[in-house]
């Protein structure tokens, strides 16, 4: 894990981050626990694009399920009865 203590950033400023971010995503450690992640802008944009792409894939799959009739409509009570969850 590429990490840096928060105290080092406080002491040295952004220069401490600049040195380590070249090695990859940077975890900032506070109270002996990873608290924050610093990413290069390009990596952040890639993550956002991947998240959006995953959402589109998920929505398309849901629409296909709906079109194929693999979706049931009902109430929570209907589902409880179908799953035999009542005592």
The number of helix segments (H) and strand segments (E) in the chain equals 4, 3
- 60-77 pLDDT, tens digit per residue, is 999 999 999 999 889 999
The larger pLDDT score, comparing residue 56 to residue 81, is at 56
pLDDT of 1 reads: 81
29 burial (CB, 10 Å; 0-12 / 13-18 / 19+) is: middle
Query: Is 0.75 surpassed by the pTM of this model?
Result: no
Backbone angles phi, psi at 3, to 5 degrees: -140, 165
3-state secondary structure of 22: coil
For residue range 40-57, list pLDDT tens digits in order: 999 999 999 999 999 999
């Amino acid at each position: 894990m590429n990490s840096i203590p928060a105290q080092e950033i406080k002491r040295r400023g952004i220069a401490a981050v600049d040195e380590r971010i070249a090695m990859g995503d940077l975890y900032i450690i506070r109270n002996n626990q990873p608290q924050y992640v610093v990413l290069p802008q390009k990596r952040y944009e890639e993550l956002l694009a991947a998240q959006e792409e995953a959402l589109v894939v998920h929505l398309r799959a849901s629409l296909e399920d709906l079109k194929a009739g693999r979706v049931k409509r009902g109430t929570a009570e209907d589902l409880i009865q179908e799953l035999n969850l009542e005592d």
